[in-house]
A and B are shown apart, each in its own frame.
Chain A
Amino acid sequence: MNIFRLAGDMTHLASVLVLLLKIHTIKSCAGISLKTQELYALVFATRYLDLFTDYISLYNTLMKLIFLVSSFSIVWYIRHHKIVRRSYDKDQDTFRHYFLVLPCFLLALVINEKFTVKEIMWTFSLYLEAVAILPQLVLLQRTRNIDNLTGQYVFLLGAYRSLYILNWIYRYFTEPHYVHWITWISGLVQTLLYADFFYYYFQSWKNNVKLELPA
């Protein structure tokens, strides 16, 4: 495992922990899109089916379990926790799941490496992860006013994606036969979706002012 991959996994883990910390300590999920969190839970549930069939390493298995448990816990908190759920802004978080889930599934049926259930689910999870942040970005745009933790959460997710791209470049030059078109293209699309947010995040950081997105 190279340094970019490890740093990518760690920022991904940090993003989830920041979110859980916010929900658990402040007992608030204000500004967090439940739609995005449900999509991530679906992403992990469909991608990590190989937990039952392949063993890669203890690290790999543990991280997969952490992402599965944390994503479902976050969804549970927002939906069912008696205090947290009151801070959920249902009227602003209106993105429809199926606008993203259905096209991703159809695309996975057509463009995949192998026409098997496991492979199609894995491909679907990659396509869905690429666009799962959209409800969150729409919510940020609508509410405009972003608290620090929510801003950091999205920033860490973007950092994780950028580091994964560096990881692929590194692996491409150091490992034989390392070519993964589906992973690369969907990963690139996913990272580009953060570009706009990153721009405003860095502006606010540079000028030392609160992050606010333009209407």
Chain B
Amino acid sequence: DNPKPPKDEL
């Protein structure tokens, strides 16, 4: 299962 990248954009 692919881990979701954190929402680091603004």
Query: What's the Cα separation between A175 and B2 when bound, in Å?
Result: 12
Q: Quick check: B5 and A5 within 8 Å, CB to CB? A: no
A54 / chain B contacts, CB cutoff of 8 Å: 6-7
B2 to chain A, nearest CB (A): 5
Minimum CB–CB distance for B1 against chain A, Å: 10
- The dominant DSSP class at the A interface is helix
Whether A183 pairs with B10 at a CB distance below 8 angstroms is no
* Inter-chain contact B2/A5, CB cutoff 8 Å: no
Interface size of B by CB at 8 A reads: 9
The contact of A50 among B3, B4, B5, B7, by CB within 8 Å, is: B7
Q: Is the CB of B10 within 8 A of A67?
A: yes
SS class of chain B's interface: helix, strand, loop or mixed? Answer: loop
Complex CA gap A60/B6 in Å reads 12
Among B4, B5, B6, B10, which residue has its beta carbon within 8 angstroms of that of A9?
A: B10
Complex CA–CA separation, A67 to B9 (angstroms): 13
- Which B-chain residue is minimally distant from A54 (CB atoms)? B6
What's the minimum C-beta distance from A206 to chain B, rounded to whole angstroms?
A: 31
Report B-chain residues with C-beta under 8 Å of the C-beta of A167. 9
**A67: chain B residues within 8 A (beta carbon):** 10
Most chain A beta-carbon neighbours within 10 Å: one of B2, B3, B5, B9: B9
Cβ-closest chain B residue relative to A168: B9
Instruction: Give chain A nearest CB distance to B6 CB in angstroms.
Output: 6
Give the residue of B2, B3, B10 whose beta carbon is less than 8 angstroms from that of A64: B10
Residues of chain B within 8 A of A12, CB atoms compared:
10
A-side residues, CB < 8 A to B, are 5, 9, 12, 50, 54, 56-57, 60, 63-64, 67, 122, 164, 167, 175, 177-178, 183
